[in-house]
Structure 1
C-alpha cells in the first residue's frame, strides 16, 4: 500500500475514534507534544496570539520530521519511540492526578505491540503503528483548529458524537480568536490547510507497506 494512502486511512480512523480507548495511546502522544510546548511557552512568556500561531507550526514541524526520518531510514524504531513517549506522558498525568484510568491497559499495550513488532522485525506492522502514533498530531490540529470553531458556529452543545468524535471546548485556536475581525473558524481552517500541504507532500515520499 502506498504510504500516502496508509497515512490517510490512519488519519480517518484516528479522527473517528478520537475519544475512544482505542485511540487513547496515539492521542496521548499528540497531547504530550502539545503540553510540553505549552510548558515551554509559559516559561518563555509566550502566550496569546503568538502561541496560537507558533504551537501548530511546531507541531506540524514534528510531524514533518517524522515523515522525513521514515522516508530515509528504517522506520521500525519510530513506533517504539512513539509508544515510549505516550506511556511516559500517561504515567506523568496519572501521578499528577494521583489516579489511573481505563487507558492504562491500551497505552501499555501499544508499547508492548511496538516492542513485539521490533523484535520480530515486522516492518509493515511498525509502519502502520508508527503512523498511528505520529498522525495523531495532524488529527489533534484538525480538532483544535477546525472542529472546535465549527462546533461553535453550528451551536453544537456538548459532544453528541462522543465517545467517538470528541471536540474540546478549549484548544489552540482560542489563542488567535477572531483576530483582525476574521472569524476564528476561517483562521483555523487557513492554518490547518497551510500546514497540511507539506505533510501531504512528504507523506508520498515514504516507504510503502
Structure 2
C-alpha cells in the first residue's frame, strides 16, 4: 500500500504544472483507488468542481468506464454539468502500479463556461459542421479491461469495509455506496458482489430494492 501511495504522489508535480499551464479554470484531482470510499488524495484549483480531499470518485464507473470511447486506460473530452449548472469538460487517465494493477486516476476538470460563451458568439457568424456520431463499439480487450477494473474496485471496496460480525445495516450501507457509484450498472456486478460478501444474489437484490426505496 505504501508503494502505491508513493506512485500516486509522484503525479503531484504533473498536477501542479498542468494546472499552472491552463490557469484557474483547470482543476486537477488525483484519486487513490485502493481507498475507493475516500479516493480523493490531492486537488488543485478545486473551486472548479468543489472536490475535496477525502471524498469519493463520482464519474469513474458511470461515465468513464461505461463509455465506448474508453480505451487504453483513458477517456478524454467528456462533459458533465455541476449542481449549479456549470459545464465541465474532463479527462480521466488511470494509474497502474508495477504489477499493472489499477491504483488511481488522474483527472483534469475544465470549466468551459467562458469558452461556451465565445462559441455562441462565433456561431452567430459561422456555420458549424454537423457532428457525426461515432458508432464504434469497444473491442473485446477494452471490455475485458473495464471488467477487470470494476472487479478490482469491487474487491477493494469490500476488502476495506467488511469485518467480522458485520451487521445487516452495514451491508446495506455498503450496497448503497456501490449503487451510488454505478457499480451495479456493470454486467455481472451483482453476482460478483454476492460472491465476495458471501451472500446470495437474491439478498443483494433485496438490499438494492431497500436502498432505492429510501432515495
TM-score by length of 2: 0.31
Give the structure with the higher percent strand.
Answer: 2
What is the TM-score of this pair, normalised by structure 1? 0.32
Say which structure, 1 or 2, has more relative contact order (CA 8 Å, 6+ apart): 1
